[in-house]
Amino acid sequence: MSTTRKHIALLGATGSIGTSCLDVVRAHTDSMQVDVLTAHSNWQKLAKQAADFLPKRVVLTGLKQDDVAANAFPAAVEVEFGEEALAEAVVAADIDIVITGIVGAAGLRGTWAAIEAGKRIGLANKETLVVAGSLVTKKAAETGAKLIPVDSEHSAIFQALECGQANEVAKIILTASGGPFRTWSAEKIAAATPESALAHPTWDMGPKITIDSATMMNKALEIIEARWLFNLEASQIDVVVHPQSIVHSMVEFVDGSVMAQLSPPDMKLPIQYAITWPDRIEGVSPKFDLTQTFSLDFEPPDLERFPALSLGFEVAEQGGTAGVVLNAANEIAVDRFLHSKIAFTEIPRLCRSILASHQFESDPTLDQLLSLDKWARQEALRWTSLTSHHSPSLTAPPC
């Protein structure tokens, strides 16, 4: 590890990834510091973080000056507002690494700015690659930007890939916890409530990704993320359910050797590795006690109870505009489910329906992707207003 401190821009500082990242920085103030912190609207939490970490600047993308109490932030911290300010903050010359912890397609703007500036990026915002994987990876190759995965499965694969050459990789195996409904019957899943879907058995995450884990749409998005990040064919990606979330993913090489990365489920580890790579430093995450008895279980995913997963394979194979449409439809579907406007099982149905009705384009521009994102959101909202009146979950008792 170099002796100079790494200067970090942390996008989405107030979220689950953001707070885990700040735990990592707090434990390593000798080698890391945050220069930029951003949030959307939670200025109270951002102000507290600013007082603790004294960044050079903070950005609130969803608020204006008048929304924030006077003197909320330390006098030495510059307070800025809007997406433009965020894009400017990440490209500042002294930023070494940008950690993208914003949720949803809203994360694309800041990530894209960092890529154009050739920055090193700790990529948590998987939606960036789902929406614009081919353009993002192409632009990164042009500018020299380095995309280092923070998503635990992709971090595991990134680490396991170091055991061989790219042309020696047969396939990758993404592990999935299976979410809170892994053992539920199809009937019980059909009546799932937001409360039960938010109760993840192994990971403590923001609400959107927690619902994605319950539908297994998270794994679908991760298949697409892996396809672009590691330049693989969709047919080279497998998914296996592993309820303990200890084996974070695996790479199978052509000789049959399988390399895996293991650790207790805690996002601080992949976040720290994205910052310190290619070095490793003392970790802040809990470690295994290998003297105790424990078991690792693996089972095939059930595509009938979790149809969202099939969408991941299909969209990874199609490429083009399929990712942006799937992502936008899913963001609306998750929001509507969390507001008890549609049933849990309508989430993948809605996504498939919007995907099927879109005008597919194999080689879209960024502008085309952005306008399709808008179109898919409008269509998804229209779909929910037309079809959500008899949702079983809206009348079912909590599980």
Interface with ligand NDP by CB under 6 A: which residues?
12-18, 39-42, 61, 101-103, 106-107, 124-127, 151, 203, 205-206, 208-209, 267
The residue whose Cβ lies closest to ligand NDP is 15
Provide the token pair at 165: 């050459």
The nearest distance, CB 226 to ligand NDP, in angstroms, is 13
Nearer to ligand NDP (CB atom), residue 91 or residue 106: 106
Does residue 45 sit in helix, strand or coil? helix
The nearest distance, CB 123 to ligand NDP, in angstroms, is 9
The nearest distance, CB 144 to ligand NDP, in angstroms, is 24
Interacting residues of 229 by C-beta distance below 8 A, sequence separation 6+: 123, 129, 133, 137, 147, 149, 154
151 interacts with Mg ion by CB under 5 A: yes
Q: Which does 175 bind (CB under 5 to 8 A by kind): ligand NDP, Mg ion, none?
A: none
CA distance 363 to 8: 33
CA distance 153 to 150: 8
The nearest distance, CB 23 to ligand NDP, in angstroms, is 12
Nearer to Mg ion (CB atom), residue 127 or residue 153: 153
With CB under 5 A, what is the number of residues at the site for Mg ion?
3
Provide the token pair at 335: 């929001």
Q: Which does 126 bind (CB under 5 to 8 A by kind): ligand NDP, Mg ion, none?
A: ligand NDP
127 interacts with Mg ion by CB under 5 A: no
Nearer to ligand NDP (CB atom), residue 95 or residue 267: 267
Nearer to Mg ion (CB atom), residue 245 or residue 391: 245
Range 210-214 contact pairs with CB under 8 angstroms and sequence separation of 24 or more: 211/334, 211/337, 211/338, 211/347, 212/330, 212/334, 213/177, 213/179, 213/180, 214/179, 214/180, 214/181, 214/344
CA distance 96 to 83: 20
The nearest distance, CB 124 to Mg ion, in angstroms, is 9
Q: Which does 82 bind (CB under 5 to 8 A by kind): ligand NDP, Mg ion, none?
A: none
The nearest distance, CB 181 to Mg ion, in angstroms, is 17
Nearer to Mg ion (CB atom), residue 95 or residue 271: 271
- Given a contact cutoff of 8 angstroms between Cβ atoms, the answer to whether 170 and 254 are in contact is yes
Nearer to Mg ion (CB atom), residue 153 or residue 373: 153
The nearest distance, CB 8 to ligand NDP, in angstroms, is 15
Alpha-carbon separation of residue 135 from 112, 321, 362, 373 (angstroms): 10, 11, 12, 15
Nearer to ligand NDP (CB atom), residue 111 or residue 384: 111
Which ranges of 80-174 does DSSP label H, i.e. alpha helix? Answer: 83-90, 108-116, 127-143, 152-160
DSSP 8-state symbol, 361: -
Helix pair angle (207-215, 346-357), 10° resolution: 90
The nearest distance, CB 151 to Mg ion, in angstroms, is 4
Dump the DSSP string for 170-193: EEEEEEE---TTTT--HHHHHT--
Nearer to ligand NDP (CB atom), residue 32 or residue 85: 85
Give the per-residue contact string, 321-360, with Mg ion (x = CB under 5 A; - = no): ----------------------------------------
Q: Rule CB under 5 A: which of 94-113 touch Mg ion?
A: none
CA distance 180 to 323: 25
The residue whose Cβ lies closest to Mg ion is 151
What residues make contact with Mg ion under the rule CB under 5 A?
151-153
